[in-house]
Amino acid sequence: MWKYEKKLEYPININNKDLKMAKALLAQYGGPDSELAASLRYLNQRYTMPDEKGYALLTDIGTEEMAHWEMIATMVKQLMKGATIEELKNNGLEGNYTQHDGAVFPTDANGVPFKTTYIETTGDYRADLESDMAAEQRARATYEHLINLTNDPDVIAPLSFLRQREVVHYNRFKELRDYYLNTYEKNS
């Protein structure tokens, strides 16, 4: 079903260590509005779409969100490269080190582990699409907040790319919602 090209959707080449930024980026790795939550949400919701058009769109976006999750992990790893135990402790990452060493684990920026309750699905395509549009707006806002936390162009560039993809996803969900309103709801 998927073709993995073994390259990131957007190139990431961060040269400056920044553990505070790495910790902040975890919001988009394992938080409630993270790329992981979005991917799992859309890949589950696709089964309740009323037709192939909705199924295909949620599959496409859910798969792309997984690629974005990979980008966030890469950014976190590059921002933490060469960090000492003392630096990890000083930046609130000792818990991650204790349990995962240098691995990236799905938590939010506060260290709260990923929860399956983040995977919203109601079985009602109308409610799910409205929720998806809101999720994309929350993710867009989070990327804007992350961009405000750094002045490193090597970090800002992929964050700006990811922010723009949230806008595109919002618009695609809105188009699908409007299509369904005109196709399935106009005679109701």
CATH value at residue 57: 1.20.1260.10
pLDDT < 50 regions, the chain? none
Residue 14 lies in a domain: no
Residue 188 pLDDT: 57
Range of the domain at 87: 19-185
DSSP line for 21-60: HHHHHTHHHHSTTSHHHHHHHHHHHGGGSSSHHHHHHHHH
In a domain, 9, yes or no: no
User: In this structure, is residue 36 part of a structural domain?
Assistant: yes
Radius of gyration of the chain (CA): 18
- Let me know if 173 is exposed, middle or buried by CB neighbors in 10 A (0-12, 13-18, 19+): buried
* Interatomic CA distance for residues 128 and 41, integer angstroms: 9
The number of distinct structural domains making up the chain is 1
Residue 32 lies in a domain: yes
Residue 2: the pLDDT is 65
What residues have CB less than 8 Å from 12, skipping those under 6 apart? 71, 74, 75, 78, 154, 158
SS3 107: strand
Residue 25 lies in a domain: yes
pLDDT score of 102: 86
In a domain, 5, yes or no: no
Residue 137 maps to a domain: yes
Q: Residue 144 and residue 93: Cα distance in Å, rounded?
A: 23
32 token code pair: 């409630």
The reported pTM is 0.94
Q: What percent of the chain has pLDDT over 70?
A: 97
> Quick one: pLDDT at residue 187?
60
**Cα 155 from Cα 147, distance rounded (Å):** 8
In-domain check, residue 12: no
